[in-house]
Amino acid sequence: MVIAMVAVVALRPTTHSEPTLPEEFEGEPDLYMRDALITQFKGDGGIKYKLASAQIRHFENDRITRLSSPELALYNPSAPPWEISSDYGYIRQPLDAPTAEEVVFLRENVELLQRYDDGRRLRLRSESLYLYPDRQFAETNQDVMIDTDVGRTKAVGLKGDLQHGLLNLSSTASQRVHTIVLPGQFK
């Protein structure tokens, strides 16, 4: 009888509970970095993007990384890189679904700048923007201002293929896409 009880106790599955986090650490990041520089590579070894941020806070359970003063350089094989900055942002990690992709949300003083070797530049500004680095795609439903060497364009929103330079600008019934061409462009 004693042997049977010992066998039952010995064969009973043990339960291991996850260690509990002390209350004072609830809500704290799993990873914290200051003045960080992260380089993301493509499958062929080329650089996909570089991300610099004054502070990076990663929360594993929420699958989110919060950014302070992020600066992102998004590389493109056929054009100069996009230099992207804002006051704040976050990176939403993809879920385990095969079609999920990383999403970067930027807010407050968002600026995208592309500088060409011949001195031309394209500057896009908005108050918030979603960026999909894998597709090099950006979108916002906030006001957008685009400045180039030839003029300025204002729109209510934007969907942009950054790799191919295709920008689809949005308007409303009360606010149309408005473009001003600088003098001297029609010589």
Q: Do residues 67 and 53 lie in contact, with contact meaning Cβ atoms separated by under 8 Å?
A: yes
Q: Is residue 60 part of a domain?
A: yes
Q: Is residue 134 part of a domain?
A: yes
Instruction: Determine which helix (DSSP H) or strand (DSSP E) holds 78, and give its type and residue range.
Output: none
Instruction: Output the domain CATH number for residue 77.
Output: 2.60.450.10
Q: What values do phi and psi take at 32, rounded to 5?
A: -135, 130
Q: Which domain holds residue 62?
A: 27-143+158-168
> Which pLDDT tens digit goes with each residue over 51-88?
999 999 999 888 899 999 999 999 988 899 999 999 99
How many domains are contained in the chain? 1
Q: Is residue 178 part of a domain?
A: no
What pLDDT score was predicted for residue 7? 47
pLDDT of 11 above 90:
no
> Which pLDDT tens digit goes with each residue over 100-144?
788 999 999 999 999 999 999 999 999 999 999 989 999 999 999
Q: Is residue 100 part of a domain?
A: yes
Q: Output the CA angle 185-169-114, nearest 5 degrees.
A: 60
Q: How many CB atoms lie within 10 A of CB 144?
A: 25
> Which pLDDT tens digit goes with each residue over 20-56?
666 666 777 888 999 999 999 988 999 999 999 999 9
Q: Tell me the three state secondary structure of residue 183.
A: coil
Q: Is residue 6 part of a domain?
A: no
Q: Is residue 17 part of a domain?
A: no
pTM, entire model: 0.80
Average pLDDT of span 12-16: 57
Q: Is residue 121 part of a domain?
A: yes
